[in-house]
Amino acid sequence: MSELAVVTGGAGWLGRRLVRALGQGLADVPALAHAPPRAVRCLTFGAEDGAVVRAENPAAEARPGDLSDPASLDALLEGAAGATVFHCAGIIHPRRVRDFYTVNVEGTKALLSAAMRVGVKRFVHVSSNSPIGCNPRPDHRFDEDSPYNPYMGYGKSKRLAEEAVKAAQATGRLETVVIRPPWFYGPGQPPRQTTFFTMIKTGKMPMVGSGDNMRSMAYVDNIVQGLLLAERTERAAGRIYWIADRRAYSMKEIVATVGDVLEQDFGMAVSRKQTRLPGIVSECALLADRILQALGLYQQKIHVLSELNKNIACSTARAESELGYAPTVELREGMRRSVQALLDDGGRI
């Protein structure tokens, strides 16, 4: 394991938890609870991001730059021979479809090229469930041999990024590992996740279809565990791993659990009224999403609505057997920690 860890997206939701764990260890996982002293360097987009990174790990070094600027990537990786790169940066909800490809594809390719030039040892790439698409039925689980079937522009961009990572591995100049986390939750959540909580609290979260569709979710520190194990496990080079909570949850369970946490753990008044919509609503949103993205446009609310009746669930069996991955936090406790962290930071639901 390298003494230097380089993190892109260090000021993001997942990146912040990784930067923290690189300095403090991962308390929920005994084997990772005590972090060895090491240098941590993060690609940041300005002074504010630098302050966020240092708040998580005072020893972390912030280097300003952009994935679209090769010169800043060279500066980020200066002297990084033998280092590990954790590539957490990406764009999920852009204004324009082309931004998916500028950031997620071309940015990844530029970072891979810079990493190979300086002799980085291992490149751990954060992908997504989106390159694999949706399960054909509720009891189906994706594994690492499931074929590509990208879901819209984001899924296509993450597939192309994965293929670039595989190509770098094939050169023999860089060890690579791809991890695929699904829907995140946990401390440090962005405003879109807080909006999800607020909609559940106020009874405005629609249930599209029966609510029996299954979703894999990943508590952020479970993902961090997967990242750290992907770095230190020798046989992981060239491999892909799904990293998620051990079991999938139905949409009904997700919504009910958030409501229970808000009400029972934090004493909030939660409306148990629920708007029920037929599954065709999500299919109409999917059609609208396809039309908009074909025109180069992206609308987050329409895209999210298109997914609400879909099955998107995976198996973590390979990660458990090859990495020793053992997710320690499940839905209720993870949601409780999410809310507590939000309130501690002065947020409101």
Q: Decide: 327 and 244 in contact? Cβ < 8 Å.
A: yes
Q: What is the rounded end-to-end Cα distance, in angstroms, of the chain?
A: 41
Q: Three-state SS across 128-152? A: CCCCCCCCCCCCCCECCCCCCCCCH
CA dist 274 and 203 (Å) reads 5
Q: What's residue 230's pLDDT?
A: 98
What is the rounded (10 degree) CA torsion for 335, 338, 339, 341?
A: 150
Question: Among residues 335, 153, 311, 342, which one has the least CA distance to residue 256?
Answer: 335
The pLDDT of residue 46 is 80
Per-residue confidence (pLDDT) for residue 2, from 0 to 100 = 66
* Secondary structure letter of residue 11 according to DSSP: T
Torsions phi, psi of 85, nearest 5? -105, 125
Q: Is 101 helix (H, G, I), strand (E, B) or coil?
A: helix
For residue 233, give the 3-state DSSP assignment. coil
**227: its two tokens:** 């990242």
Q: What is the mean pLDDT of each run of 10 residues along the chain (349 residues)?
A: 89 96 94 90 90 94 93 95 97 96 97 98 98 97 98 98 98 98 96 95 96 98 98 97 98 98 97 92 97 97 96 98 97 98 95
What span, in angstroms and rounded, lies between the C-alpha atoms of 337 and 304? 24
CA angle (20 as vertex; 130, 77 as ends), nearest 5: 75
Domains in the chain, CATH or no CATH each: 4-189+217-246+313-328 (3.40.50.720)
Q: Which of 319, 159, 301, 142 is nearest to 227 (CA)?
A: 319
39-44 and 276-277 as β-strands: parallel, antiparallel, unpaired?
Answer: unpaired
Name the one residue in this structure whose structure tokens are 């600027």.
69
Task: Report the alpha-carbon distance of residue 127 to residue 129 in Å, rounded.
Answer: 7
CB count in 10 Å sphere of residue 46: 10
Within 13 Å, how many C-alpha atoms sit on residue 267's CB side? 1
3-state class (DSSP) for residue 117: helix
- The dihedrals phi and psi of 281, each to the nearest 5 degrees, come to -60, -45
